[in-house]
Amino acid sequence: METLMIKVDKENPSAEALKPAVEMIQKGGLVAFPTETVYGLGGDAENPEASKKIYAAKGRPSDNPLIVHIWDFSQLEEIVSEVPEAARKLADAFWPGPLTMILPKNDRIPLETTGGLNTVAIRMPSHPVARLFLKESNVKIAAPSANTSGRPSPTLAEHVAEDLSGKIDCIIDGGAVDIGLESTIVDLSEDVPTILRPGYINKEMLEKVVGPVRIDPGILDANANKNIRPKAPGMRYKHYAPKGDLAIVEGKPEDVIREINRRVEEDQGKGLKVGVIATKEDRELYHCDHILTIGTRTDEYSIAHNLYAILREFDELGTQKMYTESFETPKIGNAIMNRLLKAAGHEVIRAPHED
């Protein structure tokens, strides 16, 4: 299959340019498109055949449900069996934007789209290209991240092409995404709103709007909670795994840098190809053949923005061992560490303290 590439102006997309993509999605085809979080791989959410094609293109297990994207609140009312007060409040506060809500579904959304569940994940993206595409096609679009299952989510159209070129009908290229990590998922199908996946919209922001919010115990600490399974099926898989072996080094900044340098020297001495993920501030302090800069400590969002592209870059470099500092930043730190811990297979090294 030939994959059509459509380039659009992110701030000012034209409906005319999107026409071929609109026709494809209406006919049951697959179209990747930019959102403010990551690129999505879209298909008609009400067409079970389209959902099956999404799973096939991504190589994704079919019990891992998709997120349904809408551009107007009335579309939510069409596909859920009830709209709780909390959903209205959260939509008022955060839609359009990087928040996904889980609600009980009705019969319009086939089980193929929800991985067999009776609930549906819904999100109204804010990206101008995503909004125009949704509006012009008048289709509710089921879209997981547009990566091959197990690879980092795509933050550029080039990443989508790397993984899915030849397997999908079209890629809409709207340049780099804004946030770079997937949306916050909040489950409203139970009594207390529960975060199933951390993202840009954090617990404090949600609590200001709906009162107490829980975090799914299954996502907190994989080691402490070996027997508790995350509720979002997608959070159970080993995701975002780079090809090499990544370890997170924690401790006082100077201890972390010393420990990473010590390990790099040891590994390079064994003939291994080694990489370090560094902030702009610390870059000069490392001694390693491959140092990639993830962002700056003065802007925590820059770290979120660059994480996935860096993991892809290491795959291309073919590094066998990688080390990174920890990024427990105040606002989006939970989301960053959730992805980073998965990428590292939860390998965390405590740097020994030296005075």
Which of Mg ion, ligand TXA, none binds 235 (CB below 5-8 Å, type-dependent)? ligand TXA
Give which of ligand TXA, Mg ion, none residue 321 binds (C-beta under 5 to 8 Å, depending on kind).
Answer: none
Task: Pick what 183 binds: Mg ion, ligand TXA, none; C-beta below 5 to 8 Å, kind-dependent.
Answer: ligand TXA
Q: In angstroms, what is the minimal distance from the CB of 191 to Mg ion? A: 27
Which CB atom, from 176 or from 247, has the smaller least distance to Mg ion? Answer: 176
**What residue 76 binds from ligand TXA, Mg ion, none (CB within 5 to 8 A, per partner kind)?**
none
Q: Tell me the residue nearest to Mg ion as measured from the CB.
A: 145
What Å distances lie between residue 113 and 95, 123, 142, CA to CA?
A: 22, 14, 7
Contacts to Mg ion by CB under 5 A: 145
- Which C-beta is closer to Mg ion: that of 45 or that of 210? 45
The residue of the chain with the least Cβ separation from ligand TXA equals: 234
Phi-psi label, residue 340: left if phi above 0, alpha if psi -120 to 50, beta otherwise = alpha
Question: Coil, strand or helix: which one is 197?
Answer: strand
- Chain centroid, CA 213 distance in Å: 21
Instruction: Report the candidate in 273, 299, 294 with the shortest Cα–Cα distance to residue 283.
Output: 294
Residue 309 contacts which entry, Mg ion, ligand TXA, none (Cβ below 5-8 A, type-dependent): none
| Interface ranges with ligand TXA (CB under 6 A) | 35, 37-38, 40, 64-67, 100, 102, 114, 117, 119-121, 123, 143-145, 182-183, 185, 196-197, 231-235
Residue 80 near residue 120 (C-beta atoms within 8 A): yes
Q: Which residues contact 83 (CB under 8 A, 6 or more apart)?
A: 76, 77, 103
Give the H or E element holding residue 339. Answer: helix 333-343
When the beta carbons of 239 and 263 are compared against ligand TXA, the nearer one is 239
